[in-house]
Amino acid sequence: MTIVAVRGVLPYAARAAWIRGQRPSNANVVKNDGFDYVRRLPTALRSKEIDDILRCLGQGALDAHFIRSIAPSTFTAVLGLLRPGRMLADWEQALAHNWWIRGRHYGTLPSRWHVYARFSDLVASLVDIRRRAGMPLGMLDYRHLMHAATGVANSDLARSLLLAMRQDGLQPDADCITAYLHCLVWDRRPRDPDLGDASGAFRTAPINTSLRRKGKHPFAPAPGVYVVEAEEAFQSLLSRGLVVDEAFMCHMMTAYARENDMDSCVKILFRFWNVDAENFETQARPYPPGHPLRPTGRLLHTIAHAFGATNRVTTSLRIIDQVSTAYDIHIGIDVWEEIFVWTFSHSWPRGSSSFGLAHKTERLTLKAVEQLWQVMTNEPYRVRPTLRMYHLSIKNLTQFQRYDIVVGRIREGLAAIHADNATLSANLEAHRSAWLARGLGAVPKTSKWALKRRRIRDVGVAQRNAVMLKRWCRWYYEQGNRGPGFRRKPHEVLPDGTVQKEPPDNMRFTQPFWAYRDVPNFLAEFANVGPHIVTYRTHTGFVSIRLRWHWPTEEEHMRNHRLLRKRQATLMKQHRQKMKQWLLEHKQELAEHELAMKEGAAPAKRHRDGIFTSYDDDEDDYGEDEAGDKDWWRRR
């Protein structure tokens, strides 16, 4: 674990075995990477080093005496600093979009779900130890813990915290109920933590609804659970006279969107903000600054997510423009990215097991992604796209075979990556200077662990950018090779629901100069950032070029070793099958000889190996061939 370093945190079932344990000796403390968490925690609290605080709690989680010895006021301060939004703010961009290039055992950065799972286990362990020791937590402590559960979107952790709060005689306030509703609607922990969250994870399609109804969806509950939980939370707030705020109503809209109940979402917009989804000339309800229901960027993101997940992207654009104009709210890049991701998700052709159910849902055309790109990058918005938006746009253009503009899009993405890498290089140089200054005895501004953590993040982001460029280049010359034996052109769904099967399109036939002029020019321009070995198809065959030498990484060595072991196992299995077949044939031959011997048709001789064989008088006696080799029978 390289990011949050909460090593030693045991699963929930095994926690009772070590909670009653005593504090380890000093020898064990030194053995634990030489890090004395007992002495380091006060220093980390004074300097507010979140990395060191989390490391102290992670390595001291097995020490029940250490957790119990923390003063209540200090424990409250620790919980206030351990919010994942504050702790993982600089890691979110690196962790959120690295899973699709990292695979199961690739890259420096771990999976985001591994980090969140260990953090959730740490929080549950702290609460369990304090409550078992007879040290009840206060309302402020539970509020900090609910915010921690919100940062990792763990509904199980939030539900257990609410239960512990009621057992301690405390009543959840509006912030705790809002945090629980957030965890409920945004919890999408996969079954395999090594896998990431797909772009259409919350898509309200027939295939997702069918999986939820059968109980096979990886994270979503049965149909109707979101709405029931949200309405119960809303009635709980109203019965106690608590004031609802913008965050709670945004979670209510998200819960209705999970069940594809967009009429309720439209009613919430009209009831609380007087925003009509059909009549955009209505005047929005004014709210003074500081009012709990005054819209912010959160409402814009919720509208983009709720209407985008239900394939109402055009409606979401109009509502967002109306709300941002009425309340003078800037449309952030996260809102544009949410709209762009849902547009790409609803336009991408579905196949495999979900092919039949996918065509029962209205799908956007492939050109809708490029149309949205032109809208948001031109006046009046002038949005600067993120790397993820470049990635999805290039994937869409290569699938749509817009080779007239995809090269320019790759150049723009390469410029954005160069700017990102320049920032990473400056960060690495600052890390090196700070590390050398610590070695020379200078007063440290940050801890060694924080410096190491930032370096791991920067190196991981640089690796992700390099893999991203290689994918863009590979898509360019591979998608043009469609035809027999390659990926075919996607089918279009007509308004009446029928599927129009288009013939396969192939760049090497429709544009004769593509394989002989365009691809070589493209490879010459991007030879330093693309794949080191390039293979593409022409009119007469295949072309394979090694553009540069590639030094294999440790992960590639491990992958090649696994492939070699798998190949050796396959060969051994084939060899055993051949030997088994040979023995079966040999047993049949022995049976025939035994039958002939009983009938007296042919004499037989028993050799020292116990095999009965027939022989004639003109053969060499005693099983010896003409060359005098007595072991000839072993090589039959």
| Furthest-apart CA atoms within the chain: distance in Å | 117
Q: Give the pLDDT confidence score for residue 457 in this predicted structure.
A: 79
Q: Is residue 100 pLDDT above 60, yes or no?
A: no
Task: Using pLDDT thresholds of 50, 70 and 90, give the confidence band for residue 608.
Answer: very low
> What pLDDT was estimated at residue 618?
42
Rounded to whole angstroms, the Cα distance separating 83 from 541 reads 58
- Please say whether the beta carbons of 20 and 14 come within 8 A: no
Q: Which pLDDT value is given to residue 623?
A: 44
Q: For residue range 306-343, list pLDDT tens digits in order.
A: 999 988 999 999 999 999 999 999 999 999 999 999 99
pLDDT for residue 81 is more than 60: yes
Measured CA to CA, the distance from residue 100 to residue 96 in angstroms comes to 10
Choose between 333 and 48: higher pLDDT. 333
d(CA 377, CA 566): 49
Contact residues for 139 (Cβ-Cβ < 8 A; gap 6+): 170, 173
Q: 66: closest CA among 123, 22, 111, 120?
A: 22
Q: Tell me the mean pLDDT in the region 612-634.
A: 45
pLDDT value at 621 more than 50: no
Strand, helix or coil for residue 533 = strand
SS3 state at 631: coil
Rounded-to-5 percentages of helix, strand, coil across the chain: 60, 5, 35
pLDDT confidence bin for 620, thresholds 50/70/90 = very low
Is beta strand 499-500 parallel, antiparallel or unpaired with respect to 492-493? antiparallel
CB 472: neighbour CB atoms within 10 A? 23
Average pLDDT over residues 266-276: 93
Residue 24's pLDDT is 36
Nearest one of 210, 234, 64 to 134, comparing CA atoms:
64
pLDDT band at residue 613 under the 50/70/90 scheme: very low
Q: Structure tokens of 627?
A: 């060359």
Q: What pLDDT score does 537 carry?
A: 78
Residue 195 — pLDDT band, cuts 50, 70, 90?
low
- Model pLDDT, residue 26: 35
Inform me whether the pLDDT recorded for 405 exceeds 70.
yes
Confirm if 456 and 108 have CB atoms less than 8 A apart.
yes
Q: How many CB atoms lie within 10 A of CB 539?
A: 9
pLDDT at 610: 43
* CA 59/CA 51 separation, integer angstroms: 12
In angstroms, the Cα distances linking 1 to 55, 445, 446 are: 11, 24, 20
Over range 598-626, report the average pLDDT. Answer: 48
Cβ neighbours of residue 602 closer than 8 Å, sequence gap 6 or more: 593, 596, 614
Which pair of tokens denotes residue 223?
């149909």
Which of 172-176, 551-555, 607-611 bottoms out in mean pLDDT, i.e. has the lowest? 607-611
Q: Which residues of 11-36 are buried (b: 16+ CB within 10 A; e: fewer)?
A: eeeebeeebeeebeeeeebeebeebe
Q: Find out whether 190 and 113 touch, Cβ atoms under 8 Å.
A: yes
One-letter amino acid at 354 equals S
Q: What is the pLDDT of residue 252?
A: 95
Cα 512 to chain centroid, rounded: 40
Whether 6 has a pLDDT exceeding 80, the answer reads no
Q: Ranked by mean pLDDT, which of 105-109, 231-235, 511-515, 614-618 comes out on top?
A: 231-235
The reply to whether omega before 380 is within 30° of 0 (cis) is yes
The four Cα atoms 494, 495, 496, 498 give a dihedral, to 10 degrees, of 20
Residue 294 has pLDDT above 90, yes or no: yes
Higher-confidence residue: 82 or 366? 366
* Cα within 13 Å of Cα(250), Cβ side: 22
- Give the residue, 630 or 536, on which the prediction is more confident: 536
Instruction: Give the containing element (helix H, strand E) for 546.
Output: strand 542-546
Q: How confident is the model at residue 107 (pLDDT cuts 50, 70, 90)?
A: low
Q: What is the mean pLDDT of residues 506-527?
A: 78
Is the confidence at residue 260, as pLDDT, over 60? yes
Q: Is pTM beyond 0.85 here?
A: no
Q: How confident is the model at residue 15 (pLDDT cuts 50, 70, 90)?
A: very low
The 10s digit of each residue's pLDDT in 442-467 is 656 666 667 777 787 788 788 888 88
What average pLDDT does the segment 220-234 reach? 87
Res 617 pLDDT > 60: no
Residues 596-611 have a mean pLDDT of: 56
Burial class (CB in 10 A: 0-12, 13-18, 19+), 374: exposed
- In this structure, of 238-242, 449-453, 509-513, the range with the lowest mean pLDDT score is 509-513
Say whether pLDDT at 350 is over 80. Answer: no
What's residue 421's pLDDT?
87
pLDDT, the chain, mean: 77
Q: Is a pLDDT exceeding 80 seen at residue 20? A: no
Residue 263 is inside which H or E element, if any? helix 262-273
Q: Is the pLDDT of residue 378 over 80?
A: yes
Q: How confident is the model at residue 606, as a pLDDT?
A: 46
Is the torsion defined by CA of 82, 110, 530, 334 positive or negative? negative
Tell me which residue of 88, 138, 116 sits closest to 193, measured CA to CA: 116
Predicted pLDDT at 30: 35
What value does the mean pLDDT take over residues 150-167?
91
Please, are residues 180 and 146 in contact by the beta-carbon 8 Å criterion? yes
Number of other residues whose CB lies within 10 A of the CB of residue 188:
16
Range of weakest confidence among 73-77, 181-185, 600-604: 600-604
Residues forming a β-bridge with 614: 604
Please spell the DSSP secondary structure of 559-609, one letter per residue: HHHHHHHHHHHHHHHHHHHHHHHHHHHHHHHHHHHHHHHHHTSS-EEE-TT
DSSP state of 268: H
Phi and psi for 8 in degrees, rounded to 5? Answer: 95, -5
> Are 333 and 389 contacting, i.e. CB atoms less than 8 angstroms apart?
no
How far is Cα of residue 322 from the mean position of the Cα atoms in its chain? 33
| Secondary element (H or E) of residue 334 | helix 333-347
Instruction: Provide the residue type at 581 as one letter.
Output: Q
- 365: DSSP letter: -
pLDDT at 110 exceeding the cut of 70: no
